[in-house]
Chain A
Amino acid sequence: MSSSNNPLPPKERLQIVRQSMPEQDPLKRAHNFEEVNLGFTDELALQEATRCLGCGKPRCVQGCPVGVKIAEFVDLIVAKDYLGAAAKIREDNVLPAVTGRVCPQEEQCEGSCLLAHRAGSSSLGIGYLERFVADYERTTGQIGLPACAPSSGKKVAIAGSGPAGLSCAGDLVQRGHDVTVFEALHEIGGVLVYGIPEFRLPKDIVRQEVDNMRKLGVKFETNVVIGKTVTVDELFEEEGFDAVFIATGAGLPKFMGIPGENLCAVYSANEFLTRVNLMKAYRFPEYDEPVFDCAGKNVGVIGGGNTAMDAVRTSLRLGAKNAYLIYRRTEKDMPARIEELHHAKQEGVQIMDLWDPVEYIGDEKGWVRAAKLRKMQQGEPDESGRSRPVPIPGSETEVALDMVVVAVGNTSNPLVQQTTPGLDTDTRGRIVADHEHLRTSKKGVFAGGDIVSGAATVILAMGAGRTAAASIHDYLTTGEW
């Protein structure tokens, strides 16, 4: 970068080691819902930001699904202009305090960082820095909201207030469009409020980001299920919307279809997490929604993704005596973020990899009391490139479990597709949209995020939201489909 604020020559920057994130003590945090990562101090942030090499063609930016101007915001941190840095992020990312916490940076910006590919060095802590400036901005209350273009007179409806919907809404409102986001639940945020636990993403942060979007002019309507309360056609014909973006997510839990899955205390991860996060069942009876009382119990979570990690760590916080993560492949093949796996193990989660449930066994009252598991071995690589898990004959064993959470993924929720004539879906029920513009088979209707891609990450959904916003804007201004 030409006008760098960095006082150190690159050679000296290489001498500084990556700053670690201060964390709540693992044994303490395993029993509370407060945030695990505590955030950088000014000193840590400055020290870390100074490590940035200021590449001429920053690869980190290319690695970011929403194209945050990383090198520029990091340089503003070096100049101690934290509010300027936050405003710089907001130009491309409406939820910096969220993505700074939940993005898989190691696969994206940080994975592309030159420092990551240098022997003896490790990538710049871009996620930590993003979080630092977003939190700084939040706690000082001086939000650098971008300016909005004059009103275009066009109305856009967004189905779903998760990361794809919010990101799309943020970009469209800045371009002068009248945006209404419809949400089926009673709170705005989608997976950010029902799925991701408080200890990874405090809900106050989501609420504040949503308030920022309200200040920009985005309208929100909760308790509206698109496809049930109002259909897509009615949004056009009766409510005067000019375009619709469908971002309803991947909200239909998969079960494995094995015996005993309907026993009491066998949950989908969606249900378990929704009860605890959205409905605050961990504060029962102050809040009314109940959840199985894990205190002193044996809990098994099936799966190896981030949702499985969230569920198993939540069960520990609810007092589980033993919290097992049961996964049919090896630990290194888990799709979860390394940081999440690391945190889970620190907190006492017991990993049972290469085990697969074949049946849940109930007591006389219909409550699960055990799982029958079979041992797996690594076979030939499958289409994902990982070894295919192959059952070992005669390896079945019983493990006592009082609660089971099935976290083996989601399929697409069909409510919109079933009630929208002319909207094409693929064999898995996902909405078909072209990659470049996210246009569906129905004029004026765009779709993106998990409902198109299948279950993915917050930031990929946000990227889709941005892409959709750009093509909706084109459509609204040119009228061309």
Chain B
Amino acid sequence: MFKIVEARYLSKDVKLFRIHAPRVAKKQKPGQFVILRVNDHGERIPITIAASDAQEETITIVAQGIGKTTKLLNTLETGDSIADVVGPLGKPTDVEKFGTVVVIGGGVGTAIAYPTANALHDAGNRVISIIGARTKDLVIFEDELRAISDPLIVTTDDGSYGVKAVVTVPLQELIDSPNRPDYVLAIGPIPMMRAVAETTRAAGIKTVVSLNAIMVDGTGMCGGCRVAVGGKSQFACVDGPEFDAHQVDFALLAQRGAMYRDKERVALTRFEEEHACKLLEAAKA
């Protein structure tokens, strides 16, 4: 069992967990992920590590409650435990001195982009960060990113905060400006990563994306996380999760990611009904 030493909401539905996981904390590098299983009836899901502290023996993950497992995870509080946490898995990000880099985080992807942005900053790059969110309440890790960014740009779909635009608008402006980036890292929803890839492709700027494919073991054993990169099959868990954005077949990624949509709906409905019952019982008591 892995104890949660801190759990707090960053925004509606987005929760941060600091988990006691000494072995993972000791080895984690930016870009790597863990696979966790909330309880002994749970599924195994990959979540990228947002931070780790070897001294405190903790790792930090951020989860957005979308499906059953993330919603179940988000019911956990400080002092609760997660049945299984294994990692760090996947290849760490290639951190080099590129010059000017743009780090783009979409939604909960912002938390995942943060450790890499930090490492790129420490490696002597000028880091320009773009946070994209649907609305103001969903902007996370803003202070953390601001501290290492020059500058930090926030975009929201509804204009409730920062610039009313999608992330590719400021990205294109940067490409056209004297601050033309030498390297772009984009982590977020598939449509966003795909749009970033298309934006930088024309400009010929090296672009890396982190792919959150469906996984079971996370060690290359099952092959469920197959992605097509440059026309070749790769396993996101061991060959990735980061790949050259210009080579990724995003359509296939989206297709395979939707494979269990019906099942996910069944599990979620069942969970919400059970959860509502529990809340009702608690209210009665």
Q: Is the CB of B255 within 8 A of A264?
A: yes
- List 25 A-B pairs, Cβ < 8 Å: A194-B217, A223-B84, A223-B86, A225-B86, A225-B219, A228-B219, A252-B221, A253-B221, A262-B252, A264-B258, A265-B259, A271-B222, A271-B223, A274-B216, A274-B221, A275-B216, A279-B44, A285-B263, A288-B42, A288-B68, A293-B263, A365-B255, A366-B256, A415-B219, A415-B220
- The 5 A-B pairs with the shortest beta carbon distances in the complex, nearest first, are A366-B255, A290-B263, A271-B222, A251-B221, A288-B43
Which residues 213-248 of A have a CB within 8 angstroms of B? 222-225, 228-230
Residue B266 CB within 8 A of the other chain: yes
The size of the chain B interface, using a CB distance under 8 A, is: 41
Partner of A185, one of B217, B224, B252, B267: B217
Q: Is the CB of A228 within 8 A of B255?
A: no
Which residues 72-102 of B have a CB within 8 angstroms of A? 83-89
Residue of B nearest to A248 (CB): B219
Q: Is the CB of B84 within 8 A of A222?
A: yes
Residue A270 CB within 8 A of the other chain: yes
CA separation between A290 and B69, bound complex, in Å? 12
Q: Is the CB of B41 within 8 A of A262?
A: no
Given contacts A262-B228, A262-B233, A262-B256, contact A290 B220 (CB under 8 A): no
Residues of A with C-beta under 8 A to B68: 288
Q: Mark A267-292, 1 if CB is under 8 A from B, else 0.
A: 11011001100011000111111101
Q: Mark B259-272, 1 if CB is under 8 A from A, else 0.
A: 11001101100100
Q: Is the CB of B220 within 8 A of A271?
A: no
Q: Which B residues have a C-beta under 8 Å from some C-beta of A? A: 23-24, 27, 37, 41-44, 68-69, 83-89, 216-224, 226, 228, 233, 238, 252, 255-256, 258-260, 263-264, 266-267, 270
CA separation between A268 and B225, bound complex, in Å? 11
CA separation between A275 and B270, bound complex, in Å? 20
Residue A435 CB within 8 A of the other chain: no
Given contacts A228-B89, A286-B41, A288-B68, contact A251 B27 (CB under 8 A): no
Q: Is the CB of A255 within 8 A of B220?
A: no
Interface size class of A (residues with CB under 8 A): 35 or more
Residue of A nearest to B253 (CB): A262
Residues of A with C-beta under 8 A to B23: 224, 229-230
Q: Is the CB of A229 within 8 A of B27?
A: yes
Partner of A289, one of B44, B221, B255: B44
Q: How far is the CB of A224 from chain B (nearest CB, A)?
A: 7
Residue of B nearest to A229 (CB): B23
Residue A356 CB within 8 A of the other chain: no
Q: Is the CB of B69 within 8 A of A253?
A: no
Residues of A with C-beta under 8 A to B88: 228-229
Residues of B with C-beta under 8 A to A268: 222-224
Q: How far is the CB of B186 from chain A (nearest CB, A)?
A: 22
Which of A184, A262, A414: most chain B CB closer than 10 A? A262
Q: Is the CB of A270 within 8 A of B219?
A: no
Q: How far is the CB of A371 from chain B (nearest CB, A)?
A: 18
Q: Is the CB of A366 within 8 A of B252?
A: yes
Residues of A with C-beta under 8 A to B260: 290
Residues of B with C-beta under 8 A to A267: 224
CA separation between A267 and B44, bound complex, in Å? 17
Residues of A with C-beta under 8 A to B258: 264
Residues of A with C-beta under 8 A to B228: 262
Residues of A with C-beta under 8 A to B27: 228-230
Residues of A with C-beta under 8 A to B270: 285
Given contacts A288-B43, A413-B219, contact A264 B256 (CB under 8 A): yes
Q: Is the CB of B86 within 8 A of A252?
A: no
Which of A228, A261, A286: most chain B CB closer than 10 A? A228
Residue A443 CB within 8 A of the other chain: no
Q: Is the CB of B220 within 8 A of A186?
A: no
Q: Is the CB of A253 within 8 A of B83?
A: no
Residue of A nearest to B216 (CB): A274
Partner of A285, one of B216, B222, B267: B267
Q: Mark A433-450, 1 if CB is under 8 A from B, else 0.
A: 000000000000000000
CA separation between A202 and B217, bound complex, in Å? 21
Residues of A with C-beta under 8 A to B219: 184, 225, 228, 251, 413, 415
CA separation between A335 and B196, bound complex, in Å? 49
Excluding A185-B86, A288-B267, A290-B260, 11 further A-B contacts by CB distance (< 8 Å) are A184-B86, A185-B217, A222-B84, A225-B218, A228-B27, A228-B87, A251-B219, A255-B233, A288-B43, A288-B69, A289-B44
Residues of A with C-beta under 8 A to B89: 225, 228
Partner of A413, one of B44, B220, B252: B220
Residues of A with C-beta under 8 A to B220: 251-252, 413-415
Q: How far is the CB of B69 from chain A (nearest CB, A)?
A: 6
Which residues 344-376 of A have a CB within 8 angstroms of B? 365-366
Q: How far is the CB of B261 from chain A (nearest CB, A)?
A: 10
Q: How far is the CB of B87 from chain A (nearest CB, A)?
A: 7
Given contacts A225-B89, A261-B233, contact A413 B221 (CB under 8 A): yes
CA separation between A194 and B270, bound complex, in Å? 26
Residues of A with C-beta under 8 A to B24: 229
Partner of A223, one of B85, B223, B233, B267: B85
Q: How far is the CB of B265 from chain A (nearest CB, A)?
A: 10
Q: How far is the CB of B48 from chain A (nearest CB, A)?
A: 15
